Amino acid sequence: MLKQIKYFQAVVRCKSFTEAAEECYISQSAISQQIQALENELGVKLLKREKRKFFLTPAGEHFYKKSLILTADLDKLCRETARIAAGDETQLSIGYLKCYGGQEL
């Protein structure tokens, strides 16, 4: 499903099935089939097709916006996991004035 979501994002971003297919290195018919499979799995129409054009449905608009957040979070998760596995640790340094006498630190 993740690959289908990325194909859907490419179609919306490129505003073209053909250009999205080129960007994703697959055929136009394959990307169209993947979008249809995604719609079937979700049980909703994401795109309204008219002749050689398409428009996002309200559900498609919502799915697109949320899917961008999802894939960005997934990419971040993968980077963080690789960083942890490599033993990289993030260090936080806090500076304060010598004359500070509070108990918070």
Q: What pLDDT score does 45 carry?
A: 95
- 24-30: which pairs have CB atoms within 8 A and are 24 or more residues apart? none
CB 40 within 8 A of CB 26: no
Q: What pLDDT score does 84 carry?
A: 83
Q: What is the pLDDT of residues 5-54, one digit of tens each?
A: 999 999 999 998 899 999 999 999 999 999 999 999 999 999 998 888 89
Q: What pLDDT score does 43 carry?
A: 94
CB 6 within 8 A of CB 68: no
* Cα separation, 100 vs 88, whole angstroms: 32
* Cα separation, 33 vs 19, whole angstroms: 15
Q: What pLDDT score does 103 carry?
A: 67
**% the chain with pLDDT above 70:** 90
Q: What pLDDT score does 75 carry?
A: 92
Q: What pLDDT score does 87 carry?
A: 80
Judge whether residue 95 has pLDDT over 80. no
CB 79 within 8 A of CB 85: no
Average pLDDT, the chain: 88
